Amino acid sequence: MILGFEAPTAGRVTACGQDRSVPAHSATERRQRGREVQIVFQDPYSSLDPREPVGHGLERLLKLHGVGDAAERRRRAVALAGQVGLGTRQLSALPRELSGGQRQRVAIARALAPVPQILVLDEAVASLDVTIQAQVLNLLADIRETTTIAYVFISHDLAVVRHLTDELIVMRNGAVVERGETGQGLDAPQHEYTQRLGREHSGSRLEATAANDGVQAA
């Protein structure tokens, strides 16, 4: 609903000070929403064009959002790659030539390209092995510390939720059953469903949001 993929059946959704309860009415409005809110999906491979070097995809995305001339877009693509820990060699590669962790870094760079205010991360590290998962999580934490971006992080992995978020919302059957500060919610859950999530650590969905209050205050 924040991204505009679904319309709420009731109530009102606002993001970046705008009402998101109704679909965008024009291509211009859709692009504006895309500049404000971006998403990183669980499977980076399916979200990348398999026939296109990832650097070209980044530059094409920057062109869509009206960033400078070709030289400026190239410089920006290199800077984005550096921000997520990739080099120019990876920019010249096709998605199939990159590891899973590198592909997810490309997906994060693509999401950061329009300089969004909100980044939705939908099970963004669930498909990675533990070592690569830790690297990507540390990358996301570093980005949050050096920008004013806010994360909406969707995950069933409570350890990941604790590592990356400040505030959590636990949902069951589409309804919020618990919300509050992440540490408090995970250490002393009040609702039986949250307690069961803590015991099982799998099989259910927990949504957490992390607001970058410190950087915003600075």
Q: pLDDT per position in the chain (218 positions), as tens?
A: 888 888 888 888 888 888 888 878 888 888 888 889 999 988 877 888 999 999 999 999 999 888 889 999 999 999 999 999 999 999 999 999 999 899 999 999 999 999 999 999 998 888 888 888 888 999 999 998 888 899 999 988 888 898 889 999 999 988 899 999 999 988 999 999 888 888 775 444 444 444 444 333 32
- First-to-last C-alpha distance (Å) of the chain: 30
**Is residue 106 within 8 Å of residue 95, measured between CB atoms?**
yes
This prediction's pTM: 0.83
50 three-class SS: coil
Query: Among residues 51, 115, 53, 45, which one has the least CA distance to residue 79?
Result: 115
Paired sense of beta strands 150-155 and 118-122, if any:
parallel
Which segments of the chain does DSSP mark as H helices, in order? 27-36, 54-64, 70-83, 88-91, 100-112, 130-146, 158-164, 182-187, 192-200, 213-217
